[in-house]
Amino acid sequence: MNLKEIVIPNTMALIVIDMQNDFCSNEGIYKRYSEDFMRIQKTIPNVQNLTNTAKDFGILTVFVRSLFDNKYKLPHLIEKHRALGINEEICKEGSWGTELYIAPSKSDPIITKHTEDAFLYTFLDPLLKKHNVKTVVLAGLLTEKCIETTARSAQLRGYFVIVPEDCIGSDKKLCHEVSVNTMRNMFMHITDSEELVRLWKSFP
């Protein structure tokens, strides 16, 4: 199916992933380990604008946050963080770092995850099914980690997946580009927020 056929506002959800202080703020933990933090910061206003526009069209907007305390992490994540030299607990439960950098509305659902997959061990899939969602739009961080993992998981569950490239980010340029191409080759719909909004506006 082409992009226009699956952009139907009342069957869509925008899923905003990991836009939290520890990942987005200059005072957050991730900046200290980041390869190119400016790449992440350039993504933030695009995600904010897309979030605002989605709400204007009545599109379900779901915020996904990570709690990555060591007590929650799967073994491979602990090893990955050690390999990266990350000795602090990013997005530790109850901390300022875990708070959402882009504030949700009171009515926006918030899903908590402990892995790179927003569907794994969470209530995201039942929530989307409750709202008769057929197409998900993914925005947020990090492209090659939580975005691509969640995109694959959504596709396996039968959802159409749209990824506006200007609304996802990574501090690693090559990883971002490879991940975007991987998602494109898996028949996910790679676009930009301008085109997505144009399609929303054209809907009767």
Domain range summary for the chain, segments of one domain joined by +: 3-202
For residues 10 and 200, the answer to whether their CB atoms sit within 8 Å is no
The pTM of the whole model exceeds 0.85: yes
Q: Indicate the DSSP class of residue 31.
A: G
* Closest by Cα among 135, 128, 196 to 164: 196
CATH number of 3-202: 3.40.50.850
Tell me: pLDDT of 36 over 80.
Answer: yes
What pLDDT score was predicted for residue 188? 97
End-to-end CA distance of the chain: 19
pLDDT class for 82, splitting at 50, 70, 90?
confident
Rounded Cα distance between 5 and 26, Å, is: 40
pLDDT class for 163, splitting at 50, 70, 90?
very high
* Closest by Cα among 187, 191, 182 to 50: 191
Beta strand 12-17 pairing with 168-169: unpaired
